[in-house]
Amino acid sequence: MLTQDEELWAKNLPQNVETLLASTKDPLADRSDRSKEVEVKDRDKTKVVSYRVPHNAAVQVYDYREKKARVVFGPEMVMLGPDEQFTVLSLSGDKPKRANVIKAVCLLLGPDFFTDIITIETADHARLQLQLSYNWHFDLKSPADPSQAAALFSVPDFVGDACNAIASRVRGAVASVQFDDFHKNSNRIICSSVFGFDDKLTVRPSLRFHQNSLVISSVDIQSVEPVDQRTRDALQKSVQLAIEIPTNSQEAAARHEAERLEQEARGRLERQRITDQAEAERTRKELLELEALSAAVESTGAAKAEAQSRAEAARIQGEAAVNEAKLKAEAQKIEAEGELDRLSKAREQELNYKSAMDRLEVEKQQKLAEIESNRFKKLVDSIGADTLQEMARAGPELQVKLLQSLGLKSTLITDGSSPINLFSMANGLLGALSQSQGQ
């Protein structure tokens, strides 16, 4: 804060510096823009003057009290002291180059290019206008020493000085050659004049200005145009002749080649025609031989064909009869096999039927026997074993008693139609014997 004895001090800058500081152009992106800004905002002169140094650029600040300058390399922010001022660069611009066209505070270190238009005159007084483009950069060590940094700003207009030096070299080199030679070897002449030769008589790769370490790395010839109208017409005519001569020579060569090819084609065609005629005669001879042979074959072929046809007819009839007999035999065989198959199937079905009926009859008798057995068993069970025993014993006892009453030991009564059951008679005898013994 200010005390009672202090006040703000206003730092005044030159008008061109004020304009450059207030400009909104980017020193790198808008370096080729030549439009002038009309509106300039007023700066607060009591504030610190600052400037942003872009990358790969340098700004020189001179202190008038200390009588010395300092160089600031970007990217960096420069703030001016009370007695410091920016060094304003006034460079050449436009095509051809004019002095004091570009005003700048920072110096771009490149690589970049600038273009110039120069007028030259050959040894045969042909005046030409060249448009040349030069690639350049400042060759600095990193970090740069103070003496090398100060040398950057030792040349106020390095663009104009470099263009003038290169233009004088080109004019001197072109003045010693003829127009035709320059027209054919313009690139070699200009590059050798700009860069010069080394100890081995080869063109140097670059041109170096030792005052400010500026290096021209290459030269591009963008256009070469004659200044005089007569020279321009003569050059156009020369170019047309240069184009017409190879064209005419190529046309003549093509015409001769076409004629040669035509003659070769005609020779091949004639040779082919003769070859075709010989081939046609040979084919005609073969045709006559074939016609004679066909006539002989035709005369002898009729009888042979008739005999062959008869033999073939007889053979066909015999084969047909044989085939017919074979077919009849096969038909009879098929019929016999079919009848046999039918009979065997009928017998088989009949046997199956008989076996089924017998099986059913056996099952029926088995079931009847089972039913009779069950019935007899149930009857015996219902009567009882004791009852049956008594019933069995009642008959013989009665008979024994009857016989005993008659005074007979044994008797057998039968007729001629009734069979005699010897087993029953024996049982009777045995029964009577047992009873007599019991008595």
Select from 222, 166, 172, 224 the least CA-distant residue to 195.
166
Last residue of a domain, one of 227, 244, 279: 227
* Least confidently predicted of 11-15, 96-100, 155-159, 172-176: 11-15
- Same domain for 208 and 95? yes
Residue 243 lies in a domain: no
Cα separation values, 29 from 37, 59, 94, 103, 255, Å: 16, 17, 18, 15, 59
Residue 273 lies in a domain: no
Looking at the predicted structure, is the pLDDT value of residue 38 above 50? no
pLDDT at residue 258, rounded to an integer? 92
DSSP 179-232: HHHHHHSHHHHHHHHHH-B-TTS-B-S-EEETTTTEEEEEEEEEEEEESSHHHH
Residue 164 lies in a domain: yes
- Same domain for 371 and 338? yes
The better pLDDT of the pair 399, 112 is held by 112
pLDDT at residue 220, rounded to an integer? 92
Structural tokens at position 99: 């002095």
Q: pLDDT of 209-260, one tens digit each?
A: 988 889 999 999 988 888 777 766 766 777 677 678 888 888 899 999 999 9
Local confidence band at 182 (pLDDT 50, 70, 90 cut-offs): confident
Looking at the predicted structure, is the pLDDT value of residue 39 above 60? no
- Same domain for 329 and 217? no
Q: What percent of the chain has a predicted confidence (pLDDT) above 70?
A: 84
Q: What is the mean pLDDT of the chain?
A: 83
Q: What is the CATH number of the domain that holds 56?
A: 3.30.479.30
- Same domain for 398 and 348? no
Determine contact, residues 99/89, Cβ cutoff 8 Å: no
**CB contact set of 48 (below 8 Å; sequence gap of 6+):** 79, 80
- Same domain for 331 and 429? no
Structural domain of 400 = 384-410+424-434
Structural domain count of the chain: 3
By CB atoms closer than 10 A (0-12, 13-18, 19+), residue 169 is middle
Last residue of a domain, one of 211, 227, 243: 227
- Same domain for 198 and 210? yes
Select from 222, 201, 129 the least CA-distant residue to 170.
129
pLDDT at residue 167, rounded to an integer? 94
* Least confidently predicted of 97-101, 147-151, 160-164: 147-151
Mean per-residue pLDDT for 396-413? 66
Residue 37 lies in a domain: yes
- Same domain for 328 and 210? no
In angstroms, rounded to a whole number, what is the distance separating the alpha carbons of residues 367 and 379? 18
- Same domain for 22 and 114? yes
Amino acid symbol at 131: Q
- Same domain for 334 and 406? no
* Least confidently predicted of 38-52, 115-129, 250-264, 276-290: 38-52
- Same domain for 337 and 400? no
- Same domain for 42 and 101? yes
Structural tokens at position 293: 């042979």
Residue 398 lies in a domain: yes
Residue 279 lies in a domain: no
Helix (H) or strand (E) holding 269: helix 229-383
Residue 141 lies in a domain: yes
- Same domain for 156 and 89? yes
Last residue of a domain, one of 176, 194, 227: 227
Looking at the predicted structure, is the pLDDT value of residue 26 above 70? no
Looking at the predicted structure, is the pLDDT value of residue 36 above 70? no
Mean per-residue pLDDT for 405-419? 61
Q: What percent of the chain has a predicted confidence (pLDDT) above 90?
A: 25
Q: pLDDT of 353-384, one tens digit each?
A: 998 998 999 999 999 999 988 888 888 788 77
Determine contact, residues 115/133, Cβ cutoff 8 Å: yes
Residue 76 lies in a domain: yes
Q: pLDDT of 130-142, one tens digit each?
A: 999 999 999 888 7
